[in-house]
Amino acid sequence: MIDEVPLIRRQPFSRPSAEAVAALKATPTGFIVDAMGGVGGLDYRIRPAVPEQFAFCGVALTVDAGPADNLALVHALTAIQPGDVIVANTGGYTACAITGDLVLGMARNNGAIGFVTDGCVRDVNGLRAVGVPAWAMGVTPNSPHRNGPGTIGFPVSIAGHPVASGDIVVADVDGVVVVPQALIDSVLAKLPSIRSAEAAADEAVRQGLRLPGWFKP
């Protein structure tokens, strides 16, 4: 007899150090992108459902829920560790929400500090009260099913951008940036010089700089 495939599959993953996450906290996403050669930001259409709630810096916990389904997301509540950012793939399905305030409220109670999806969310007033920044392609009142299948901890693609559990996810007013776990040390090593160069450039502009130093008219 052929064994039945479980509805929800889980994969363990390694996590970055708390020190690495703390070192990236409050770092502008543009600086992080510069440290990765100009890439790392998610699709610009993924925006905060509650505009005033947008910032976080935490560890990615990936969920592949598939279209019109959130069974894997509900199961992921048991995998959350404090400081996690749930990154949920719907395959870009936007005809219904993958979650609303109740599931994200439970995610917050388990320690989640952020949520990102290539799908939609609902219950904006409730999300505002929950306080967990929820980034999504849009908002719709339509609700999902809970049928499965799905995965937790496996790599996913969010609007064409790969995300793996254990990556660091940073969001600010400019967008969401994913730092692959393999690049964390490199990014941290480059950030001091980027901060210094940005500060010098800002000061030069304040002092009246009219053209970039590299520009040769």
Mode of pairing for the β-strands spanning 150-152 and 56-64? antiparallel
Per-domain boundaries in the chain: 8-206
CB 8 within 8 A of CB 72: yes
* 79-98 average pLDDT score: 98
Cα–Cα distance, 40 to 34 (Å, whole number)? 9
Average pLDDT, the chain: 96
Residue 216 has pLDDT above 70, yes or no: yes
Neighbour-count burial of 159, counting CB atoms closer than 10 A to its CB (0-12 exposed, 13-18 middle, 19+ buried) = middle
State the DSSP code for 181. Answer: G
* pLDDT tens, position by position, 3-57: 555 799 999 999 999 999 999 999 999 999 999 999 999 999 999 999 999 999 9
Q: Residues of the chain with pLDDT > 90: what percent?
A: 95
CATH 3.50.30.40 holds for 8-206:
yes
Residue 191 has pLDDT above 70, yes or no: yes
Dihedrals φ, ψ of 79, to 5°?
A: -105, -5
* pLDDT tens, position by position, 111-140: 999 999 999 999 999 999 999 999 999 999
- CB proximity list for 22: less than 8 A, separation 6 or greater: none
